[in-house]
Structure 1
Amino acid sequence: MEKLKWIGEKKMKVVRELDLMTYFQNYEPDELIRKGYNDYITKKHSSLHLSNGLWCYFSGGEGGRSAYDYLVNVEKWDRIKAGHYLYDLIMKQPPIKIKQPKKRNYPFRLPDRNENENKVLEYLVNERCIDREIVQYCIENHLIYEAKKDHAVVFVGYDKNHHPTNAAKRSTNSSFKMDVAGSNKENSFNIVNDTSKVLHVFESAIDLLSYLTLLKRQEREFLKDNYLSIAGASFIGKKIEETKIPVALEKFLNCNPNINTIRLYLDNDKAGKQTTSKIIYHLNDKYRIFDHTPYRVKDMNELLQKRVKPELYIKER
C-alpha cells in the first residue's frame, strides 16, 4: 500500500474549516445526542460535549473547533490520514454548514418546585449514599429541592444578599445534568460558616455533600467550615500563567476575606488535576493550600460509595 503524503496547506485550509458539529450533522448524524439547549454529546463519547461551535473532550483534556483536531486528538488518527480522509469526504459530499447559535443571555428563574422531595431523597441517599440528615439540612435551608417538571435535583447558589442567582440540575434517573439558563457561575452551590477560616473546594455539589457524609460517618463535626462547589473543572492550555482561577472560587474568597486555608478535593482526572495546579499556582502565596485529590477513585462521591458499598468495588478474580 502506497504511503500517504501530506496533502498541502491549501487542502488543509479546507479541512480545518470543517467544524465538528457540521461534520457530525452531515456525515454521522446518528452519533449525536442532544443533552440540553445547544449542548450535545455523542454515543461513542459521553464526555465529549459540543456547544456554541466548540467541542471539549473532558475525559482526555482536549478541546477545539475543527473535526480534524477531533480525529487526531480524540480518535488518535494519524495526522496525514485524517487530512486525506476529511478532504476526500468534503470533495465527494460538500457539507451543509450548520449555523451554531451564539450564547444568549436569559433571565434567571428557578425551576418550579415539586410538592415533595421523595425522588431527590431516594436518589441522593440510596443511589449516591449521601447521609439523609445532610440532605434534609440542605432541603430545609433551600439549598436543594426537587424540580416539578422532571423530578431532577436542583442545587441552588446564592449571592451575598442570599438571593438565588445560580442553579444546577441533575437528573435522578439518568446521567443528564445542566445549568439553569441565566445562572451566574460566580455564585455556585456553597455552605458558609462565617466563624471558620477554612474553605473546602469541590468540583460538584454531590462531591461536596459526599465529603460531609464522610465526616459524619467518622463522627466528626461536618458543618464547621466553609464548603464550595466550583461547578466543574477546566484545562490549563499552553501556559499556566495565562490562566485564571475558577470564578466561583474567586468570588467566594472576595466575599469571605477571613479565609486563610484552602483544601482542594477536585476530581482524580486530567481536568481536575490541572485545575488544582492552577489554583495552587495563583493562590499559593496568599493562602495555605492542601491538595486532597481522591486516590484510586475518580471523585469524592465514588470514594464515599466505595466505603459504603465496598462489595460493588471488589474486582472479580
Structure 2
Amino acid sequence: MRSQVTRKMPFTEEQMQKIYNTNIIDFAREHGFEVEKGDKATLHVKNSGGLYLFKHGRGFYCFTEEKGGNIVEFAMKYLNMEKLEAMELILGSKAYEQTTHVVAPQEKPERGELQLPPRDQNDRRVFAYLTKTRKIDPEIVQDMMKQGRVYQSRQEINGKIRVNCAFIGYDEKEVPRYCALRGPSADSSFRQDMENSDKTYGFTMTGRSQRVYEFEAPIDAMSHATLCKMQGIDWRKDYRVSEGCLSSRALRHFLEHHPEIKEIVLCYDNDVDGKLADGTPHNHGQVRAEEEKRNFEAQGYRVYIQTPTQKDFNKMLTSLYDRPAVYVEEEADEMER
C-alpha cells in the first residue's frame, strides 16, 4: 500500500497574501522599469511598446500581445523567472512595505454604452492643431470632421473646462463605439479613451479599393493620407484603419466585414529607441509588423510593411517642412508602391 505524503507548501497563507497584494507599480520601479502617464486607469511602461500597469496596483496588460496578468506573471515574463523564483523575489522586495492602498480584485463589469463627450460650438482649435501643428491637409481634416470621425470636444471636469480632439470609431450601423481623446497642443501629453470605448471598432478612413492600411493612431492615418495627396495619389481610394494601440484587433474586425479586401499594408511605428525590460534594443512596432505579416499571409492576404522614415508617419510628415527639397522628394517617393 502506497503511503500518503503531504507536500509542504512553499509559502504560508499570509505570505501568499503579501505576494499578491504587492503593488505592481512600486515593484516595477524597484526593478528598473520607468513608468509614465497612461490614461485614467493605467500607467505606461516607458520604451515598452504597449505595456501598461493598472493604477490600483494589482496587475498589468500588454496591448502588443493582447494579454495581461498579476504581479507574479509580470515578474515571470518581464524578469524572465520561474514561478517560485518570482514569488520569492516579490516576497523579499520592499515594494510590499510601500503599498499604501490596495483595491480588492473585482470582476470585470460588462461594457456599458459609450457616451461621447459633448461637441464644442466650433472645431477651430482642433482644426488648427491638426493642420498647423500636425501638418495634416485641411481637406482631409474637414472631411473627417464632416463625417463625425473627428471633432472638438468640450467637457467640464471638476469645475474646469477641458477641450480635446476626439477621434471616433463606428460600428457597421454607424453607431459610435470608440472614442479617443487627445490634447490639442504640441506640448500636451494628454491621451485617454472614453469609458466603455471598444478598440474593436477603430478610427476608419473609408475607401473603395481592395487595399487597407493599418496604423497605431488616427493622426498617423491622416498623416499618411496627406503624404499620399502631396504626391498626387488619390487619398480617398484606399481604406485606413487605426488601432489606438499596437494591436490588430480593429483590422481583424474590419476584414470580417470587408471581404473585398485582398491587400494589407502594415504601417506600425518605427520604434528605433525601444527596449525590452532587460534593456535589449527592440523595435516594438516593426517586430509586431513582421508577426502580423506572417499571420495575415497565412490567411491568404497579400501583406506589405511600410515603415516610416521617422518614428511614425506624422513625424515623417512634419519633418518634411524642415528639410531641403531633395530629401522631401526622396522620402515622398517611398509612398509609391
**Shorter-normalised TM-score: what interval?**
0.7 to 0.9
Partner of 1:169: 181
After TM superposition, the structure 1 stretch with the greater mean CA deviation from structure 2, 258-267 or 161-170, is 161-170
Residues 1:130 and 2:149 aligned together: no
Amino acid at match of 1:114: D
CA contact (8 A) 2:60 2:70 kept: yes
Partner of 1:118: 124
Deviation (angstroms), 1:49: 2.9
Amino acid at match of 2:113: P
Deviation (angstroms), 1:102: 5.2
Partner of 1:191: 205
What are the within-5 Å matches in structure 2 for residues 46-195 of structure 1? Answer: 49-51=52-54, 53-55=58-60, 65-66=70-71, 73=78, 87=92, 89=94, 97-99=102-104, 103-104=108-109, 105-149=111-155, 150-173=162-185, 174-193=188-207, 195=208
Q: Distance in 2 between matches of 1:91 and 1:143?
A: 45
Partner of 1:17: 20
Amino acid at match of 1:251: H
Amino acid at match of 1:196: S
Secondary structure of the residue aligned to 2:163 is coil
Residues 14 and 136 of structure 1, relative CA distance in 2, 3 Å threshold: same
Residues 71 and 262 of structure 1, relative CA distance in 2, 3 Å threshold: closer
Amino acid at match of 2:136: I
Q: Distance in 2 between matches of 1:155 and 1:190?
A: 10
Q: Distance in 1 between matches of 2:99 and 2:73?
A: 16
CA contact (8 A) 1:42 1:48 kept: yes
CA contact (8 A) 2:63 2:245 kept: no
For each residue in 1:146-173, what CA deviation from the matched residue of structure 2 results, as whole angstroms up to 9, or x when unmatched? 0012221111111112222221111113
Computed over aligned residues only, the root mean square deviation of the Cα atoms, in angstroms, reads 4.1
The unaligned stretches of length 5 or more in structure 2 are 1-9, 80-84, 156-161, 272-282, 325-337
What are the within-5 Å matches in structure 2 for residues 215-294 of structure 1? Answer: 215-234=228-247, 246-269=248-271, 270-284=283-297, 285-294=299-308
Residues 68 and 132 of structure 1, relative CA distance in 2, 3 Å threshold: same
Residues 225 and 45 of structure 1, relative CA distance in 2, 3 Å threshold: closer
Amino acid at match of 1:290: Y
Report % sequence identity.
27
What are the within-5 Å matches in structure 2 for residues 12-51 of structure 1? Answer: 16-17=19-20, 19-21=22-24, 23=26, 35-41=38-44, 49-51=52-54
CA contact (8 A) 1:20 1:55 kept: no
Q: Distance in 1 between matches of 2:320 and 2:71?
A: 42
Normalising by structure 2, what TM-score? 0.69
Amino acid at match of 1:115: Q
Residues 33 and 67 of structure 1, relative CA distance in 2, 3 Å threshold: farther
Secondary structure of the residue aligned to 1:111 is coil
Residues 1:201 and 2:214 aligned together: yes
Normalising by structure 1, what TM-score? 0.73
CA contact (8 A) 2:50 2:246 kept: no
CA contact (8 A) 1:54 1:64 kept: yes
Q: Distance in 1 between matches of 2:304 and 2:223?
A: 19
Residues 1:308 and 2:310 aligned together: no
Q: Distance in 2 between matches of 1:94 and 1:216?
A: 53
Residues 134 and 73 of structure 1, relative CA distance in 2, 3 Å threshold: same
Q: Distance in 2 between matches of 1:196 and 1:126?
A: 30
Residues 211 and 96 of structure 1, relative CA distance in 2, 3 Å threshold: closer
CA contact (8 A) 1:20 1:65 kept: no
Partner of 2:278: none
Amino acid at match of 1:163: V
Amino acid at match of 2:52: H
